[in-house]
Structure 1
Amino acid sequence: MAFKLYNFIFYITMAAFGYFNIYFQDAGLDSFQIGLVNAIPRFFALLLMPFWGFLTDYFHENKKVLFITLLGTLTTVLLFPQTGSFKFLMLLMFFYTLFQNPIVPLSDSLLLDYLGDDSNHYGKFRLWGSAGYMLSVSFLGYFLESTSSANLFYVYAVVLILSIFLLKFLPKSKREIEVLNPGDFKKIFRKKRLLYFLFFVFILQTAMNANYSYFPLYIIDHGGGEFLVGIALTISSASEILAFFFSDRIIKNNKFSKIIAVISIGFMIRWLLLSLFPSNPIILLSQLLHSITFGLFFAVGVDYVDQISGEKFRATGQNIYAGVFMGVSAISGSLIGGKIYQLAGGESMYFFWSLISAAAGIIYSIYLLKKERELEQNADQ
């Protein structure tokens, strides 16, 4: 139950993060500057992200490293409301990303250690995070619209303090202490299955992270406000709860190639709806596809990477996965999405992502089908 409560509380911070760009806009930044603030600091912070996984796997001190990242994020968040300067916001985003990005993979690694061979049940625990997000995001949007967007950072800080308190109740890793040779970590980068999957993740998550950055602005540009943003995000988080709940059955009963094909189609349809029908009802309806494009996608990815990485490199594998899922792709999504949004508008940006998602899905699905047939042929011989 400790993991479920921790996820429920911590993922409220993700609701707060969804309003960062509204604060940046209120501070006077244009869409391209917002893209730069989201992208450039992340690039430099991302270079250090594997360090957190290496440190955890090398010394087996997951909870201590997780405490450091939570405390560092708390310190940084409290500094945001003190400035509206573009340069200082860039600096703060570097330290924010440096400490915040490892929190999810380190938490997931600790949970996967606890689950052991039952890693496919990850979604049953992660859905509590979606519930916390869902129950808070609309209220937070209403609160910020009624007061000031700067208040999101104080809400964020309170949630982080609660998360740090709950951290001490999480069970420690079941793994026996075995200090690894630093050279052993090279092995994980030689796994082609992992590299191909991460490249596919990078393409689709570039589109998703652009959506995270500019979706609130897209709603505001079409006459909505923070409260409507909150309603949209509530719908998306409610839909992902179902995906997390059933993810273990989906993983167990379907081939990986079939799941990937469904996810790719989900991405394509979601972006097409936003591009071609930018009305509030359709915008809200499109959020239901978040169940596939985030919930199912993330849960399947965590399990797939865990299988490839193995027990020894679990934290490292999850940090690399998160680095691509939320790091590298966030940089490209913010920069590319920001430029398209600035030059051609949100409709063009979403149409571009629909084409990219379709192409990536077709190519990677063909590759997976080929590999699965090869394995079946080898098994029959």
Structure 2
Amino acid sequence: MAFKLYNFIFYITMAAFGYFNLFFQDVGLDSFQIGLVNAIPRIFALLLMPFWGFLTDYLQENKKVLLITLLGTLVSVILFPQTESFKLLMLLMFFYTLFQNPIIPLSDSLLLDYLGDNSNYYGKFRLWGSVGYMLSVSILGYFLEATASANLFYIYALVLIISIFLLKFLPKSKREIKVLDPGDFKKIFRKKRLVYFLFFVFILQTAMNANYSYFPIYIVDHGGGAFLLGIALTISSASEILAFLFSDRIIKNNKFSKIIIIISLGFVLRWLSLALFPYRLIILVSQILHSITFGLFFAVGVDYVDQISGEKFRATGQNIYAAVFMGVSAISGSLLGGKIYQIAGGEKMYFVWALLSLTAGLIYSFYLLKKEKEIKINAA
């Protein structure tokens, strides 16, 4: 129950994060500057991303490292409303990203330690984060539209304080305390299955992270505001709850290649809808595909990476996965998306993402099907 309550509360911060770019727009940044503020700090923070996983696996002090990241994030969000300077916002985003990025993979690593061999049940715990997000995002959007976008940071800080309080109730890892040889960490980078999967994740998440950055602006450009954005995000979070709820059955009852094909199609349909039909109803309906493009994709990825990494490098594996899922791809998505949006507009940007997702899906799916066929032949 402790993990479910922690996820429920913490993921309200992700609802607040969805409005960051509206704040940046309100203080006078254009779309390309918003892309730079989101991307450049991540480049430097990303270099330290695996460090958090190494530190956790090496010292096996997950909760203490997680506490440090929560406190660092708290300090950074409190400072955002104090400035409108492009350079200072860039600096603050560096510290925010440095401490915030590891929180989810470290929390997931702690949960996976608790689940042990039942990692496929991850979604049943993670869905409570989606519930918290869903129940708060529209209310937050309405509140910010009625007041000021800068208030999102004070709400963010309050939720972090509650999360820090709840952290002490999370169970500690069941693993024996054993300091690992730093040289052992090289082994995880030699796993080809992991490398190919991470490259696939990078391509699809470049599009998704661009969507996170520019979807609020796309909404505004089509006559909407923070409230309409909140409704769209509520629909997307509600849909992902179903994906997390049934993710264990989907993982258990389907081949990995089949799941990847479904996920790829979900991405293509979602981006094509926004590219070809930029109408409010279609924009809202397209958010249902978030169940596949985020909920199912993320849950499947956590389980797949956990199986490849093994217990010994669990935190490291999840941090590498998160570094690609939320880090490297966020940099590329913010920069490429910002430039495409600035030059050609939102519809063209989403059309590019549809083509990119289709290409990546076809190549990776053919690779997986070929490998499954080889395994079947060798087993015969």
Query: 1:267 corresponds to which residue?
Result: 267
CA distance in 2, matches of 1:246, 1:374: 29
Taking the TM superposition and a 5 Å limit, the aligned residue runs for 1:58-69 are 58-69=58-69
Taking the aligned partners of 2:171 and 2:80, their CA distance within structure 1 comes to: 33
Aligned to 1:216: 216
One-letter amino acid matched to 1:39: A
Superposed, 1:224-235 pairs within 5 Å as 224-235=224-235
Q: Residues of 1 paired with 2:374 and 2:60: CA distance?
A: 37
Aligned partners of 2:332 and 2:252: how far apart in 1? Answer: 33
Matches within 5 A, 1:217-366: 217-366=217-366
1:313 shift after superposition? 0.2
Give CA deviations for 1:306-354 in whole Å, capped at 9, x if unaligned: 0000000000000000000000000000000000000000000000000
Gaps of 5+ in 2: none
Q: Distance in 1 between matches of 2:331 and 2:52?
A: 19
Alignment of 1:1-381 (within 5 A): 1-380=1-380
Deviation at 1:375, TM superposition (A): 1.1
Residue identity over aligned pairs, in percent, reads: 85
Give the letter aligned to residue 229 of structure 1.
L
Structure 2 SS opposite 1:78:
helix
**1:71 maps to amino acid:** L
Distance 1:329 1:190 in 2: 21
Q: Secondary structure at the match of 1:175?
A: coil
Q: Secondary structure at the match of 1:57?
A: helix
Structure-2 separation of matches of 1:240 and 1:53: 26
* Cα displacement string for residues 223-260 of structure 1 (whole angstroms, at most 9, x for unaligned residues): 00000000000000000000000000000000000000
Rounded to whole Å, the distance in 1 between the matches of 2:376 and 2:116 is 27
Structure-1-length-normalised TM-score = 1.00
Cα distance in structure 2, aligned partners of 1:101 and 1:299: 17
Q: Which runs of 5 or more structure 1 residues have no equivalent in the other structure?
A: none
CA distance in 2, matches of 1:245, 1:377: 35
In 2, Cα distance between equivalents of 1:113 and 1:150:
37
Divergent runs of 4+, >6 A: none
Cα distance in 2 for residues equivalent to 1:6 and 1:372: 38
Deviation at 1:379, TM superposition (A): 1.6
**Distance between the aligned counterparts of 1:133 and 1:351, measured in 2?**
28
Structure 1 Cα separation of the partners of residues 194 and 348 of structure 2: 32
Q: Distance in 2 between matches of 1:322 and 1:227?
A: 29
Alpha-carbon distance in 1 for matches of 2:299, 2:207: 18
Counterpart of 2:334, as a letter, is: S
Q: Tell me the distance in 1 between the aligned counterparts of 2:213 and 2:193.
A: 30
Rounded Cα–Cα distance in structure 1 between residues aligned with 2:165 and 2:374:
50
> Whole-Å Cα distance in 2 between the matches of residues 307 and 127 of structure 1?
21
User: What is the distance in 1 between the residues matched to 2:377 and 2:154?
Assistant: 58
1-structure distance, mates of 2:136, 2:271: 25
Shift of 1:116: 0.2
The SS at the match of 2:177 is coil
Aligned amino acid, residue 256 of structure 1:
F
Q: In 2, Cα distance between the equivalents of 1:52 and 1:161?
A: 21
1:158-186 CA distances to partner (integer Å, 9 max, x unpaired)?
A: 00000000000000000001110000000
Deviation at 1:377, TM superposition (A): 1.4
- How far apart, CA to CA, are the structure 2 residues paired with 1:268 and 1:120? 26
- Matched letter for residue 272 of structure 1: L
Query: Aligned letter for 1:239?
Result: S
CA distance in 1, matches of 2:83, 2:379: 62
- Equivalent AA in structure 1 for residue 108 of structure 2: D
Pairs aligned (count): 380
1:45-68 CA distances to partner (integer Å, 9 max, x unpaired)? 000000000000001000000000
* Residues in 2 aligned to 1:265 and 1:311: alpha-carbon distance in whole angstroms: 32
SS at match of 1:117: coil
Distance across 2 between alignment mates of 1:376 and 1:157 = 53
